[in-house]
Amino acid sequence: MASSRRSRENTRGSGVAAAVMVVVLMALPACAAEPKAEAKPSATPTTTTSPTPDPYTGPLTFAGDDLVAFALSPDEVAGLLPGAAPAGAVTDELLQYSDGGGPDFDPSVCVLLLSEMSMRSVAARTVPWKDPEDSSNSGRQQILQFASEEQASTRMDQLTSTIDHCAQFDAQGPGTFETAVAPELEGVRAFAGTLTLDSSGSRWRVHHGFASVGNVLVELWQPALDGSEFDAERAALLLRDRAVEAKAALITDLTDNPPATETPTPTDPAAPWSEWQLSGAGVGPLIFGADRESALAAVPGATVEEVEWTDSFARLWSGDGDESLVLHFTDDGATLIGVTAGIANMEGDVEPDGAALPLRAPCASARLSPTLPRPSPGHVHPRRLVRRVLLPVGVAGRRSDPIPCRPGLRGRIGCHHGSDGRGCDVRTAARRGVSNAALSRPPRCCIPDRSVG
């Protein structure tokens, strides 16, 4: 049973294969035998047809480039936001600033309208529109991938509660949120509106649009201090209909290519952490879905460090105190849903020894980008990246893509393993932005070597 100590921790994105048909012509010799009488065709020729597969009905989990299906075109953005800068191409960059500070909101849920929707997401695609002359007029469409349908649905539940609770609110000054809601269609929810706030003499006005289906949340965001009008109903309907199209495309894909389910390898809880595997079922003896008490007691000789201000996290320290794993629980703290090995961007992080941390194996298809030298096992690369890899259920049997390591970003190296979802993605964070490498449901979502955590 692990001992415990408490501290305060703080958390702050075919090919077309050419088929060559060789036709062989057989020449008859000069003195060929007389041909036999041709057989008469049957009156009712038989035809063989392949059975039509049943439509996919499993978890609706988008991953990586699946998110592009939600993107609006430049013309659509211009139609919704005439005063906005021209929209660019879809990118895997995700800009994040901060998740704290600011006035107190009453009702408190209204603070969500000024919060970053990307918090707790594991991947993203973004359609940016940047005003070169006025950065405060730049906006975006963010398409956010969460680890599960439940996480995205919970976030959308919170957002839809602002429709009624935040029509009028207070945040050290009056605020309003005027909205239009699109009728739910094919399980897709969507709404849009304009937020206006005068907080302590500081005025803020922004157009918002939200849609959600499966494990995806879509946010449309455009500052509107110029007083520009916004057709919220049109925006909500457009976001909804695009999400319906994305859902249909994913179901077709998964019907034709059903995802496989990986089988976890039995783990000796007393074995060195470096011998544990990261899998869709858990990390070593830490099994996703386990209750809190079982999870915290699963590692013999480990020390449990609880977090005073929340039950959503706890840290396990190795017996020698040199390495740690951060355990992620549901909001009520009852169920294990994720594990971070290495740097978790939380108070108490220590520089990890990559060779001592769990490793996803086999890892034959992963490689680092040639822009950086490949780190040696057991060493952390000098470029300090925040690297999170979602390794969800059912990723086997999909196509392979490399895991790139991008230069020029700040942060540290860590790996987050989520509890479910069909695909996987890499999130690389920096103070000035987050880049999500495009991994389109590879057969093995893995860490290139132990130096990456």
Residue 224 has, within 13 A of its CA and on its CB side, a CA count of 20
Q: What is the pLDDT of residue 38?
A: 55
Is 3.30.70.260 the CATH classification of the domain at 64-256?
Answer: no
Q: What is the pLDDT of residue 234?
A: 98
**393 closest CA partner among 248, 303, 259:** 259
Report how far residue 336's alpha carbon sits from residue 342's, in angstroms, rounded to the nearest whole number: 18
Indicate the domain borders of the chain. Answer: 64-256, 262-453
Report how far residue 137's alpha carbon sits from residue 123's, in angstroms, rounded to the nearest whole number: 25
Alpha helices, H only, 166-263 = 232-256
Q: What is the pLDDT of residue 182?
A: 98
Please state whether the peptide bond connecting residue 258 to the residue before it is cis, i.e. omega within 30 degrees of 0. Answer: no
**443 closest CA partner among 415, 426, 420, 423:** 423
Which residues in the chain land under pLDDT 70? Answer: 1-49, 97-101, 261-265, 280, 360-453
Q: Dihedral (C-alpha) 365, 370, 372, 374: value to the nearest 10 degrees?
A: 40
| Residue 212 burial class via C-beta count within 10 angstroms: exposed 0-12, middle 13-18, buried 19 and up | buried
Helix, strand and coil content of the chain, in percent to the nearest 5, comes to 20, 25, 55
Q: What is the pLDDT of residue 439?
A: 27
Q: What is the pLDDT of residue 43?
A: 57
Structure confidence by residue, pLDDT tens digits, 43-96: 565 666 677 888 999 999 999 899 999 999 999 999 999 989 999 999 988 877
Structure confidence by residue, pLDDT tens digits, 184-228: 999 999 999 999 999 888 899 999 999 999 999 999 999 998 889
Q: What is the pLDDT of residue 413?
A: 29
Report how far residue 213's alpha carbon sits from residue 149's, in angstroms, rounded to the nearest whole number: 8
Question: Tokens in use for 26?
Answer: 């057989």
CB atoms inside a 10 Å sphere around CB 278: 24
Phi/psi region, residue 394 (left: phi>0; alpha: psi -120 to 50; beta: rest), is left
Structure confidence by residue, pLDDT tens digits, 306-331: 988 889 999 999 988 888 999 999 88
Q: What is the pLDDT of residue 195?
A: 97
Give me Rg for the CA atoms of the chain. Answer: 26
Question: Tokens in use for 444?
Answer: 């093995």
State whether residue 181 is helix, strand or coil.
strand
Question: Tokens in use for 362?
Answer: 């086999």
